[in-house]
Structure 1
Amino acid sequence: MAVALLMVLVLWKADALPPAMTRADITAWVDAAGILGPLVIVGLMTMAIVASPLPSAPVAVAAGAAYGHLLGTGLVALGAELGAIIAFLIARRLGRSAIQRYLGAKLETGLMGSQNALMLTVFGSRLLPFVSFDLISYAAGLTALRFWRFALATAAGILPASFILAHLGSELAGPDGPGAIWAVLGLGLLTGAPLLWATWKREQGG
């Protein structure tokens, strides 16, 4: 992992990575990396979460194109999980004490002090593509949420999106590329339907 991140950082400093990388850029770079390609994918995903110099979606799509939807999903999920954990620990180490001094006991009461509520919030946010993955990771580190709960909620929540993007890349790399869009839309609907249904039921009950 450290080797992959070091490779990415060196190439970024040397301007070998363009400011706005596309799927084609990443795919070409992964191909050139040979047997180190999987480490490159994991390193890019991790870096995209921690420092956000790269968009993560093209990396995930490129992973699917290069390694198929199953291995691609695993690499994307691993990189995203590592990035989220690093962001969480950075915030916990550097910002938690300051937040505690400012909010005091309020940080441990109500929803902010509920481990189940915080864990569910992290899990739900991972299912929503318009919610900042990076921001949630850093914000969670400032709360009372236990590390293992954060890691578990993140791991469970990122699998659907990781699979959808990797599957898209895999399909686009195949002979039926244009049809992949409809397949991914269908998968996205199936993934989001339970969350939408739960939200609707909660509003009806309220």
Structure 2
Amino acid sequence: MGVAMAPAPPRLFASPRARRQVLLHLLLVGLLLVGAAVLLRRQIAFLTDAEAARAYVRGFGVWAPLALIVLQALQVVLAPVPGQVLAAVAGYLFGPWWGTLYNVVGIGIGSAAAFWLSRRFGRTYVERMVAEDALATFDGFVERRGLLSLFVLFLIPGLPDDAICFVGGLTPIRLRKLVVVAVVGRAPAFFLANVFGDLIATGDTEVAIGLLVLLTGLSALGYANRDRIARRLDGWRR
């Protein structure tokens, strides 16, 4: 009798080519950011002064938080910049509470868009964003275990929550419920990222580094054990 093989862990990228394309895009974005920082170093030097930066941002009125909300929504659908990076920037510029509020609004809009897009265009569209094995795993998982387990997936740092949004849209669960679960589940991690940005702004470097180490460690553990987490949740009794 053969030995049963453990299921392969879900992959975030559909193929090595897709992974290379994403890495290339991230490299290009990084180079552009570095180039812009070099060219505009005198103009943006004030950003190292949190009070000056916050005063400057306040001068834009509603446009500054609106820009953050739009960027956060776009990163869910297009993933140009990790959402936690934007959350840390929001904490630096707006403080932990307002920054979290703006991030949560953006995450809600982006999650709703991801759910709607996958539901509107179907599995073929989602397969461009998520690997086929991950799609099959999480699709069946969400339908079997329901919203509570989906909430836990969003709550645990390190799991591909943007990809899970696309997969969740393929289920018959009502869109409103999916959005609420995505927002509530992702809010704690985004709040902590905003707190990190605020700690940098207020000069509490040691605490900020400790929080960064904690968040990075939790994310690494979540990512490394993503298949085990899915199996444990799938074994829960309803």
User: TM-score scaled by structure 1?
Assistant: 0.66
The question of whether the paired residues in 2 share the 8 Å contact of 1:69 and 1:163 is answered with yes
2:135 is matched with none
The question of whether the paired residues in 2 share the 8 Å contact of 1:96 and 1:143 is answered with no
**Which of 175, 184, 188 matches 2:203?**
175
| Letter matched to residue 57 of structure 1 | Q
Q: Which has the higher helix share?
A: 1
User: What are the Cα deviations for residues 38-72 of structure 1, in whole angstroms up to 9, with x where unaligned?
Assistant: 01111111010011122222111000000100111
| Letter matched to residue 50 of structure 1 | V
- The alpha-carbon deviation at position 81 of structure 1 amounts to 1.3
1:102 is matched with none
1:34 is matched with 60
Deviates further, 122-131 or 87-96: 122-131
The question of whether the paired residues in 2 share the 8 Å contact of 1:164 and 1:188 is answered with no
The DSSP-based 3-state class of the residue aligned with 2:60 is helix
The question of whether the paired residues in 1 share the 8 Å contact of 2:72 and 2:107 is answered with yes
**Count of paired positions:** 166
| Letter matched to residue 150 of structure 2 | V
Structure 1 125/161 Cα, relative in aligned 2: closer, same or farther at 3 Å? same
The DSSP-based 3-state class of the residue aligned with 1:157 is helix
**Structure 1: how far apart are the matches of 2:125 and 2:77?**
21
The DSSP-based 3-state class of the residue aligned with 1:53 is coil
**Structure 2: how far apart are the matches of 1:75 and 1:185?**
24
Structure 1 98/59 Cα, relative in aligned 2: closer, same or farther at 3 Å? closer
The question of whether the paired residues in 2 share the 8 Å contact of 1:127 and 1:158 is answered with yes
The question of whether the paired residues in 2 share the 8 Å contact of 1:112 and 1:144 is answered with no
- Asked if 1:156 corresponds to 2:184, the answer is yes
| Letter matched to residue 52 of structure 1 | A
5 Å matches for 1:52-67? 52-67=79-94
**Which of 137, 142, 147 matches 2:170?**
142
The question of whether the paired residues in 1 share the 8 Å contact of 2:72 and 2:103 is answered with yes
Higher relative contact order (CA 8 A, sep 6+): 2
Structure 1 96/145 Cα, relative in aligned 2: closer, same or farther at 3 Å? farther
User: What are the Cα deviations for residues 127-150 of structure 1, in whole angstroms up to 9, with x where unaligned?
Assistant: 122211211000000112221221
User: TM-score scaled by structure 2?
Assistant: 0.58
| Letter matched to residue 172 of structure 1 | I
The DSSP-based 3-state class of the residue aligned with 1:145 is coil
User: What are the Cα deviations for residues 62-107 of structure 1, in whole angstroms up to 9, with x where unaligned?
Assistant: 00000100111111111111111100000011106999xxxxxxxx
**Structure 2: how far apart are the matches of 1:79 and 1:64?**
14
| Letter matched to residue 101 of structure 2 | G
**Structure 2: how far apart are the matches of 1:174 and 1:113?**
45
2:150 is matched with 122
The question of whether the paired residues in 2 share the 8 Å contact of 1:65 and 1:169 is answered with yes
